[in-house]
Amino acid sequence: MLIAATGHTLEMFSTAMIKIKRQPPRRCPKCGSYRLSTDGDIAERNGIRGWQQRDACGACSYRGEYSFFPWDEKDELDLEA
């Protein structure tokens, strides 16, 4: 009985972990629609190239703030060499 109970607890725990890891359905902060997607583009900031993306709603004109992901770390290493 004890083993079965422990197994059940572990099962509950892993289910909870999966729920935490899984992203909750994102909604548009403006109209509440679930038709929220990401809109991305290549960009350059302060001479650093990267990828910028933002939330874009398919139901209204909402566009979120851009997040920037630089990808030029390799070039910086080349300068030090």
Binding site for Zn ion (CB under 5 A): 28, 30-31, 33, 57, 59-60, 62
Q: Edge-to-edge, what's the strand order for the sheet holding 36-45?
A: 36-45, 48-57, 67-70
Least CB distance from residue 61 to Zn ion, whole Å? 8
Nearest distance from C-beta of residue 67 to Zn ion, angstroms:
18
Pairing of strands 36-45, 48-57: antiparallel
Nearest approach in angstroms of CB 62 to Zn ion is: 4
Closer to Zn ion by CB, 16 or 59: give it.
Answer: 59
